[in-house]
Amino acid sequence: MLDRAIAVADAGGLGSLTMRSLATELGVKPMALYHYVANKNEILDGIVDRVFGEIELPAAGGQWREEVSRRAESARSVLRRHPWAISLMESRSAPGPATLRHHEAMLDTLRGAGFSLAMTGHAYALLDAFVYGFAVQEAALPFDRDAAPEVVAGIAAQLPAEDYPRLHEYAHERVMTPGYDFGDEFTFGLGVVLDALERSLRDGDGEAPAPGTSPAR
Amino acid sequence: MLDRAIAVADAGGLGSLTMRSLATELGVKPMALYHYVANKNEILDGIVDRVFGEIELPAAGGQWREEVSRRAESARSVLRRHPWAISLMESRSAPGPATLRHHEAMLDTLRGAGFSLAMTGHAYALLDAFVYGFAVQEAALPFDRDAAPEVVAGIAAQLPAEDYPRLHEYAHERVMTPGYDFGDEFTFGLGVVLDALERSLRDGDGEAPAPGTSPAR
DNA sequence: ACCTGAACACCGTTCAAGT
DNA sequence: ACCTGAACACCGTTCAAGT
């Protein structure tokens, strides 16, 4: 039943997932659902946990960087498949078993790599902020990947070029350029994050570095 | 009217913002709203743009790192004030004037700092992925700041310690510890991101570094 | 145990109407 | 120009009832 709920949301967005539409999907009357579930909220909790369950877990014995990287890529593709899940994550209160298992595995990988408890918290928060935030951006894109140049050209044409010179520059000389793919920003950002974590592990024994006080400043 | 809509959403969440509740708030009948707006969607577009407008713009003449940092902190506090705006950003199609002005100012600051067009895209995507993702995490927190230790203690007590040893470790030895504040993760993450951008500006003339190929690897 | 029909208090929105 | 009332097709959910 949760599978069908996810399928409905995938097909028509979260707004199209109603007790009535789900019942129809299952060939049953709306009220029959209440035999399996206390209310709609429980369904939402359930599908969020299932989405979490779709994300690849980091392997216990592997190299932390590789495992964390693979898991981040997996999370990204899962959230691209189920973009409605992002808005749901904000409002859920009770994490399900798949969610807990997932967090446990990530903490274990980071702790096992030698990160201190504090640094593990920094690392996980940063990683997931990036992953979730990237998913939000991808979900908000007005174009779907291949159509980017045309769509952006249409939008840019609406904007007075003299008021928004930088937006025009970026639209014309970057987005509308062959080979542009917003998805590439994920690779770049994830690399930045992983590099920083790796550096902190080497320099500080897993302790937090003090950003902004490095020689780079 | 958009101000009142924002006030309603702030007070009761996005679910409490209905044409009827907004009308009541304005001392008018629901149908009167349609004189100012074509439909509810237009109201949602409007309040998202207004929320964007609350974020401090980077100053044109300032040091890029300081300006970008201040703007990121501002975005974070705005999204904490209006957590419902995050889920809305995913689904909006038409960016409003405040949103456009905001993007224009950010692009101008980054380009002015010497970042290449490609690197500006990398930088902005990474920065905002972090900011939005952090906002998602903060909105999802089951505790409100000061109550963290007690709430987490309650949750942790529900979980079998033998199944989730790392979660227990983190809950007891980190979250439930005096002085813990999830908000500190923002400072850490933002520092990592800004350090990386600063380094790329120094090392590569604003060109993208190749993460993962640095000596840190 | 599993499912249903009728009903209630809600939605956004249409249409025709009032000042 | 600005506002309204009645109505329609939707929601989630309760309750009492059917197999």
The model's pLDDT over B108-146, given as tens digits with 9 standing for 90+, comes to 999 999 999 999 999 999 999 999 999 999 999 877 777
Q: B152 exposed, middle or buried (CB, 10 Å; 0-12, 13-18, 19+)?
A: buried
Interface contact B150, partner A, CB < 8 A: no
Nucleotide with the nearest C1' to A36 CA: C2
Query: In this structure, are residues A22 and A36 in contact, taking their beta carbons and an 8 Å threshold?
Result: no
- Measured between CA atoms, how close is B21 to chain A, in angstroms? 20
pLDDT at residue B207 in the model: 61
Interface contact B204, partner A, CB < 8 A: no
CA distances (Å), origin A166, targets A152, A204, B102? 14, 40, 11
Q: Give yes or no for residue B150 having a pLDDT over 90.
A: no
| pTM for the full predicted model | 0.93
Q: Give yes or no for residue A112 having a pLDDT over 90.
A: yes
Lowest mean pLDDT among A16-20, A154-158, B18-22: A154-158
Query: In this structure, are residues A2 and A49 in contact, taking their beta carbons and an 8 Å threshold?
Result: no
- Read off the pLDDT band of A217 (50, 70, 90): very low
B35-82 tens-digit pLDDT:
999 999 999 999 999 999 999 999 999 999 999 999 999 999 999 999
pLDDT at residue B30 in the model: 97
- The SS3 assignment for A164 reads coil
Closest in B129, B132, B196 to A196, CB measured: B196
Residues A84-109 have a mean pLDDT of 94
Single-letter code of the amino acid located at A31: M
Nearest to A64 by CA among A188, A200, A187: A200
- Read off the pLDDT band of B215 (50, 70, 90): very low
Single-letter code of the amino acid located at A14: L
* Cβ contact A195–B212 (<8 Å): yes
Mean model confidence pLDDT for chain B? 92
Single-letter code of the amino acid located at A38: A
Q: Which two tokens stand for residue A17?
A: 């997932």
What DSSP designation does B175 have? I
d(CA A121, CA A111) in angstroms, rounded, equals 10
**Cβ neighbours of residue B36 under 8 Å, at least 6 residues apart?**
B1
The structural domains of chain A, ordered by start, are 1-141+182-201 (1.10.357.10), 142-181 (no CATH)
CA distances (Å), origin B73, targets B169, B187, B193? 30, 9, 13
- Measured between CA atoms, how close is A84 to chain B, in angstroms? 9
CA distances (Å), origin A127, targets A6, A147, B197? 26, 29, 17
Q: Measured between beta carbons, which residues in chain B are less than 8 angstroms from residue A189?
A: 122, 125-126, 129
CA distances (Å), origin A204, targets A194, B64, B99, B113? 15, 28, 40, 30
Q: Give yes or no for residue A208 having a pLDDT over 70.
A: no
pLDDT at residue B216 in the model: 42
Number of residues in chain B: 217
Lowest mean pLDDT among B75-84, B102-111, B176-185: B176-185
Residues B153-177 have a mean pLDDT of 93
pLDDT at residue B90 in the model: 86
d(CA B129, CA B123) in angstroms, rounded, equals 10
- Read off the pLDDT band of A90 (50, 70, 90): confident
Residues A21-45 have a mean pLDDT of 97
Q: Give yes or no for residue A86 having a pLDDT over 80.
A: yes
Nearest to B157 by CA among B176, B139, B143, B140: B176
CA B82 to chain centre: 10
Interface contact B210, partner A, CB < 8 A: yes
Query: In this structure, are residues A103 and A159 in contact, taking their beta carbons and an 8 Å threshold?
Result: no
Query: In this structure, are residues A98 and A52 in contact, taking their beta carbons and an 8 Å threshold?
Result: yes
pLDDT at residue B143 in the model: 74
Q: Measured between beta carbons, which residues in chain A are less than 8 angstroms from residue B170?
A: 107, 117, 120-121
Task: For chain B, give the percent of residues with pLDDT over 70.
Answer: 94
Nearest to A91 by CA among B70, B33, B142: B142
What DSSP designation does B8 have? H
pLDDT at residue A212 in the model: 55
Q: Give yes or no for residue B147 having a pLDDT over 50.
A: yes
- Read off the pLDDT band of A216 (50, 70, 90): very low
Query: In this structure, are residues A105 and A58 in contact, taking their beta carbons and an 8 Å threshold?
Result: yes
